[in-house]
Amino acid sequence: MGIIVQKFGGTSVGSVERIQNVANRVIDEVKRGNKVVVVVSAMGKTTDELVGLAGQISKNPSKREMDMLLTTGEQVTISLLTLALLEKGYEAVSYTGWQAGIRTEPIHSNARIVDIDTKKVNNSLENGKIVVVAGFQGATLDGSITTLGRGGSDTTAVALAAALKADKCDIYTDVTGVYTTDPRYVKKARKLYSVSYDEMLELANLGAGVLHPRAVEFAKNYLMPLEVRSSLEQENGTIIEEEVSMEKSLVVRGIAFEDQVTRVTVCGLPSGLHTLSMIFTTLAKNGLNVDIIIQSTTNETETSISFSIKTTDLEDTIAVLEKNREELQFTAIEHESGLAKVSIVGSGMISNPGVAAEMFQVLANHEIQVKMVSTSEIKVSTVVDQDNMVKAVEALHEAFNLSVIENEEKSKVNV
């Protein structure tokens, strides 16, 4: 008898009918002889509705009180799911994040898990109970309730699986697995049967919304096998593991993309050893994340630095730079919005030179201008006009043969 951790997102528990469906999926796992821990999110749009209520009272609500408010969403779900399991004749018990022993750092709205005391959960499992845990939340050592930020329920599930030394962690969602790209935009997108931790981490960081990067990091650090599966359809999903067991011939395994990107150029900076560290330390201290960075030397004494940010951060970025103009000693700030980032990802790039060149050639053939580039061992990211985003993704998807994936192990009912 092994331990299986199952995570169900907001869409999967969005109604009483869907909660009943989740209960049946949990029971199926119990019937296979496993001990089961279930991690759930708030129902549907509950979190958004709670944020809206707070917004009617305060334009700048306290982060501590927002954590207190938002954690109630998951508590509703754990109670309803546990009631459904009890009604079906299965022993079950629900725990909030802090009751389940999840301890976090003392940061509100985006805390990280620092420790999990599994005693209570283990005792319940030993007593034959299904344990239902609220995702997205924990508590500090002094008892303050915290939330884990976007994708927090994924992180809760993987962290619990690691702490419990579970055999596997299943992430149930409204899609059947991880696709070569977003099938809502590219009709020829195909489901992948396996992806490495490193590939999934790149895809998640680059805009693929199936899994949160922090959850993938946990899984990689503890070598916890993950499977992304559909909560509504009975078929195998995508296995995330250390080394892919299928589709090894694929040089590029997926294409990620995100819009609302802005390029900022800081002109006339002094050309010195500390220029880069000064400008990006200043931005980091103000909680501003930058992505692709390009430095170009104007002359012997001046340099310009371009970097990409989320368009929503543009106003704050300019304000921070202007506030520190005297210290940074730049002459002007230029910016261009209406951009998007398109990235190809695949561990096969390590042993196959020329992938980046092929990507640039494909984009050039489709008259798509590349405005910024960033590379790593297993990914190449480009910044293009937002109007060309989907066109670029479709062209690259076709060029790297991602629409004709063949596998000896097709989707089938999981047994």
Shared domain for 44 and 137, answered yes or no, is yes
Residue 280 resides in a domain = yes
Cβ partners under 8 Å of residue 206, min gap 6: 256, 257, 258, 341, 343, 345, 379, 381
Give percent above pLDDT 70 in the chain: 96
> In this model, does residue 245 exceed pLDDT 80?
no
Q: What is the pLDDT of residue 350?
A: 83
**What average pLDDT does the segment 145-173 reach?**
94
Same domain, yes or no, for 158 and 270? Answer: no
**pLDDT at 67 (0 to 100):** 96
In a domain, 107, yes or no: yes
pLDDT of residue 409: 42
Residue 340 covered by a domain: yes
Tell me, yes or no, whether 165 and 295 share the same domain. Answer: no
Q: Are residues 46 and 163 in the same domain?
A: yes
Query: What's the CATH number where 356 sits?
Result: 3.30.2130.10
**Residue 129: its pLDDT value, please?**
98
Assign residue 36 the CATH number of its domain.
3.40.1160.10
Q: pLDDT tier at 136 (50, 70, 90 boundaries)?
A: very high
For residue 311, the enclosing domain spans 255-402
Rounded CA separation 208/131 (Å) = 30
The pLDDT of residue 249 is 67
Say yes or no to pLDDT of 396 above 60. yes
Q: Is the residue at 188 inside a domain?
A: no
- Average pLDDT over every residue of 145-164: 94
* Residue 248 domain-assigned (yes or no): no
Number of domains in the chain: 2
Q: Domain boundary at 120, 143, 174, which?
A: 174
What gap in Å lies between CA 265 and CA 34, rounded to an integer?
Answer: 55
For 64-84, what is each residue's pLDDT tens digit? 999 999 999 999 999 999 999
CB neighbour burial string for 52-83, b if at least 16 within 10 angstroms, e if fewer: eebeeeeeeeeeeebbebbbbbbbebbebbbe
273 HSE (CA, 13 A, CB side): 0
Average pLDDT, the chain: 92
User: Is 266 within the bounds of a domain?
Assistant: yes
Pick the last residue of a domain from 140, 174, 208. 174
296 in a structural domain = yes
Average pLDDT over every residue of 330-351: 93
Confidence at 189, pLDDT banded by 50, 70, 90? very high
Judgement on whether residues 143 and 286 belong to the same structural domain of the protein:
no
Question: What confidence score (pLDDT) does residue 352 get?
Answer: 84
The predicted pLDDT at position 248 comes to 63
Give the confidence band of 408 by pLDDT, cuts at 50, 70, 90.
very low
pLDDT at 242: 87
Are both 262 and 389 inside the same structural domain? yes
Last residue of a domain, one of 131, 148, 174: 174
227: in domain: no
Are residue 11 and residue 149 in the same domain, yes or no? Answer: yes
Residue 11 and residue 101 in one domain? yes
Q: What is the pLDDT of residue 247?
A: 62
Q: Is 90 exceeded by the pLDDT of residue 208? A: no
pTM: 0.84
